[in-house]
Structure 1
Amino acid sequence: MGIAEKLKAARIALKWTLELASERSEIGVSTLSEFENGRREPRLAQLKQLAKTYHRSISSFLDEEPTPVPCVLWRQRPESPSAEELQATLIEFADKYRTLEALCDQHFVLELPSVSAAQDTFNYPTAASLARRVRNELGLGDRPGQTLLRVLEEVCNVKVFHLEFEPSGSAACTLSDQFGAAVLLNSKNVRWRRNFDLAHELFHLLTWRVFRHDAVGPTDQPSEQEEKLATCFARNLLMPEEVFREAVDAIRRDSGKMGFDDLFEVAREFDVSVEAVVWQIGFVYNIASEKLQPTVNKLREQAGLWDVRERDVPPRRPLRFEALARQALRRGLISTGRYAEYVGISRRDAMKLVEQDATEDVQVEVTHP
């Protein structure tokens, strides 16, 4: 496949028209058409611009063999072409992360608990049991919501990114021999909702080879049953039954009823949403979902007000990603322009960092006593 075919395939993969590609790349429609039809070859500067626009590496257009595109699994997949661009961005970020690890000679492998089970026998008790095992093996403690993100990033080497997109209930993950595991969370969501989404996506990563062994194509969506299993796993991981029961029993009133403030206190303790707490109460105390649904509906509006008050904005890229990029820049492994592209800042701001780093580096001598 030549450059012309690869350029066309990259655009089509994003579900973009020539007009939209022209608008994004600032290269004329007729010029793009000539590139794709093989009438003209792009100059190196134009090829770099198109690689950036299409969220691809320039080598993907120059290498003889086509680069395989990892499958991205969606929870509530956004509409096209937004979904396709988000997928491409997730893979682009994960690839850049892997590149920085290689440049800085930090070759970390994915460290997630192994799961071997048959798809047709994977049920709710299996998902709950897996949650307990993962919590213990990863040392997440009694309230995993407070440590899950950091442990997955720093211990398990899962690459977690945050972007703004719709619908707000959406999240995605991918698993690749190329860069390991990557997760995309919605930065518009509050922290405790992102916690649940992260635990949900963790289930899909753990069971990827159970449910995705025959996945074909750049995107996939789980079945309704698989999503229910993922929710069961996330609920049991973030709110371990024994600890959760103790927390609820300690705060509920003599009447056995809990008001919003009580529910919010439990939600705050486990770093999850109030709605998740209500549903977990149902499972732990064997209360039918039909009885809980009216309560959940009433709580949603009130809980939404708290979501606004407690909103925070997570970084798009993991802190370790930015630390590796800074290290690569300081050691002369990447240019200022490439650093600016990797961390999403202007070249001018990148130059300021270079000027700051021109002074002698502070060092601490560590010796054995």
Structure 2
Amino acid sequence: MPIHDRLKHARQRSGLSGKQVKERAGISESSLSEFENGKREPSLSQLQKLAAVYRRSVAFFLAEGPLTSEPAVLWRMRPAQEAEQIEAHFLRLCEQYHNLEMWCDDRAPICLPPAAGDAVSYGYAQAEELAKRVRQELQLGDRPGLSLLATLEEVCGVKIFHLDFEPSGTAASAVSETFGAAVLLNVRNARWRRNHDLAHELFHLLTWRIFHHTPETLLIAGEAEEKLATCFARHLLMPTDPFRTAVNARMHDGKVSFESLFDVAREFDVSIESVLWQMHFLYGRGPDAAAQTKQDIDRAKRLAPLLEDREDQKPHPWPARYHALAVKAMRRGEMSIGRFAEYLNITRHEAMRFVEQEVPDGEEVQVTPA
């Protein structure tokens, strides 16, 4: 595909109009039209500006041959505004992460327990059993929320990014033969809410081949699939026996105070809403009590400013491993200072501080007896 077609494809895929590109890249609409119609080619500096706006590499526009299929992003609820730009940013970060792994010769293999079944017959029992198996095989223990993020990133090879977007109650995932499995979380949410979102998206990654066989199905998960993902997340983060033990220890005459329920939420690092719904199902309150559970959730949210006694730190946009690989690649001479600054979204001046830091070369620790 020639460069002018790639330019047009990238703009359309990012959901930007010619006017928006002009405002962000400083390139007139008439010039952009000439670039996309093949009347003339952009200069290197113009191409770099367009690549930054479209969240693409310059190499994408200079590549020869047909355009390969691109990964689709599966949303729980696709943003009404700027969805294409968020997707492009997410996929660009995944591509950069993959590049860093290649440059450092340190690609983490995807180590996720495979799920079996078909979309028609897959039910809640299978989702619950899958959660149990994942917890056991990944050795997440009785309180998975405390270690799920680090395990998926450092052990399982899942690329997890945090960006700011609307609505806050959504998240996304993507699977690619190139970069593997990835999850996008909302930086606005509290850590305990992000834990639920991460577990929720993990279900989609595990069952990707079950529910999404063709690219046409990859945009928004169906209602039934979303309910299964929620069931999986509940059982993964709040395993039945440990959770029941924690609640029973705080129960008096069949009741638990809201103060104690916030303690349970903190213990499992989940939201109070998740705790109340897990209690709803485990203690057999049934569908007739759903309205009461919703009232309890509303009451808990009003009490949260008084009882939510735990700290929350906003996560960095990219994982610690991504940052470590970028530093390693730069120090090994695998990437320029300019690209290093681009990958970490810092200035060249800030990037130079990493260059100026001297790192001992060749120092090792003896592990086995000499």
Residue number in structure 1 paired with 2:226: 227
The residue correspondences of 1:313-352 to structure 2 (distance < 5 A) are 313-352=314-353
Q: Secondary structure at the match of 2:46?
A: helix
User: What is the percent sequence identity of the aligned residues?
Assistant: 49
Q: Secondary structure at the match of 1:98?
A: helix
Q: Secondary structure at the match of 1:220?
A: coil
Does the CA contact (< 8 Å) of 1:131 and 1:233 recur in 2?
Answer: yes
Q: Distance in 2 between matches of 1:150 and 1:317?
A: 13
Residue number in structure 2 paired with 1:310: 311
Does the CA contact (< 8 Å) of 2:74 and 2:221 recur in 1?
Answer: yes
1:21 equivalent to 2:21? Answer yes
Cα offsets for 1:215-269 (capped at 9, x unmatched): 327x5111111000000000000000011000000112x2221222111000000
Question: Which amino acid in 1 is paired with 2:93?
Answer: F
Question: Offset of 1:77 from its aligned partner?
Answer: 1.2
Of the three residues 273, 276, 281, the one matched with 1:278 is 276
The residue correspondences of 1:243-262 to structure 2 (distance < 5 A) are 243-252=242-251, 254-262=252-260
Q: Secondary structure at the match of 2:160?
A: strand
Q: Distance in 2 between matches of 1:178 and 1:4?
A: 25
Instruction: Output the aligned Cα RMSD.
Output: 1.7
Question: Offset of 1:365 from its aligned partner?
Answer: 3.5
Question: Which amino acid in 2 is paired with 1:55?
Answer: R
Does the CA contact (< 8 Å) of 1:190 and 1:310 recur in 2?
Answer: no
Q: Distance in 1 between matches of 2:269 and 2:366?
A: 38
Give the TM-score normalised by the residue count of structure 1. Answer: 0.95
The residue correspondences of 1:108-119 to structure 2 (distance < 5 A) are 108-119=108-119
Question: Offset of 1:308 from its aligned partner?
Answer: 9.9
Cα offsets for 1:60-114 (capped at 9, x unmatched): 212222132101000121113x211111111100110110000001132211101
Q: Distance in 2 between matches of 1:307 and 1:195?
A: 16
Residue number in structure 1 paired with 2:265: 267
Q: Distance in 1 between matches of 2:307 and 2:167?
A: 20
Q: Secondary structure at the match of 1:261?
A: helix
Question: Which amino acid in 2 is paired with 1:338?
Answer: R
Q: Distance in 2 between matches of 1:199 and 1:143?
A: 13
1:141 equivalent to 2:141? Answer yes
Q: Secondary structure at the match of 1:326?
A: helix
1:168 equivalent to 2:175? Answer no
Question: Offset of 1:362 from its aligned partner?
Answer: 8.2
Cα offsets for 1:113-170 (capped at 9, x unmatched): 0111011110111100110011001100000000000000011100000011111101
Residue number in structure 2 paired with 1:187: 187
Question: Offset of 1:45 from its aligned partner?
Answer: 2.0
Q: Distance in 2 between matches of 1:60 and 1:306?
A: 51
Residue number in structure 2 paired with 1:239: 238
Does the CA contact (< 8 Å) of 1:4 and 1:35 recur in 2?
Answer: yes
Structure 2 unaligned segments of length 5 or more: list them: none
Structure 1 unaligned segments of length 5 or more: list them: none
Residue number in structure 2 paired with 1:287: 285
Number of residue pairs the alignment of both structures matches: 365
Does the CA contact (< 8 Å) of 1:60 and 1:66 recur in 2?
Answer: no
Q: Distance in 2 between matches of 1:334 and 1:292?
A: 54
Question: Offset of 1:360 from its aligned partner?
Answer: 4.6
Q: Distance in 2 between matches of 1:356 and 1:306?
A: 45
Question: Offset of 1:300 from its aligned partner?
Answer: 2.0
Residue number in structure 2 paired with 1:41: 41
Residue number in structure 2 paired with 1:199: 199
Residues 242-251 or 299-308, more deviating: 299-308
**Residues 29, 263 of structure 1: alpha-carbon distance in 2 compared, 3 angstrom cutoff:** same
Q: Distance in 1 between matches of 2:39 and 2:306?
A: 57
Q: Secondary structure at the match of 1:68?
A: coil
Residues 29-38 or 159-168, more deviating: 29-38
Cα offsets for 1:21-49 (capped at 9, x unmatched): 11111222222121112111011222122
Q: Distance in 1 between matches of 2:165 and 2:55?
A: 17
**Residues 31, 140 of structure 1: alpha-carbon distance in 2 compared, 3 angstrom cutoff:** same
Cα offsets for 1:315-342 (capped at 9, x unmatched): 1110000000000111111000000000
Q: Secondary structure at the match of 1:24?
A: helix
Q: Distance in 2 between matches of 1:13 and 1:307?
A: 42
Question: Offset of 1:183 from its aligned partner?
Answer: 0.4
Residue number in structure 1 paired with 2:363: 363
Q: Distance in 2 between matches of 1:323 and 1:65?
A: 34
Q: Distance in 1 between matches of 2:183 and 2:191?
A: 15
Does the CA contact (< 8 Å) of 1:13 and 1:84 recur in 2?
Answer: yes
Question: Offset of 1:367 from its aligned partner?
Answer: 4.8
**Residues 336, 173 of structure 1: alpha-carbon distance in 2 compared, 3 angstrom cutoff:** same
**Residues 10, 262 of structure 1: alpha-carbon distance in 2 compared, 3 angstrom cutoff:** same
Q: Distance in 1 between matches of 2:233 and 2:306?
A: 24
Question: Which amino acid in 2 is paired with 1:25?
Answer: A
Residues 289-298 or 345-354, more deviating: 289-298
Q: Distance in 1 between matches of 2:291 and 2:126?
A: 24
Question: Which amino acid in 2 is paired with 1:65?
Answer: P
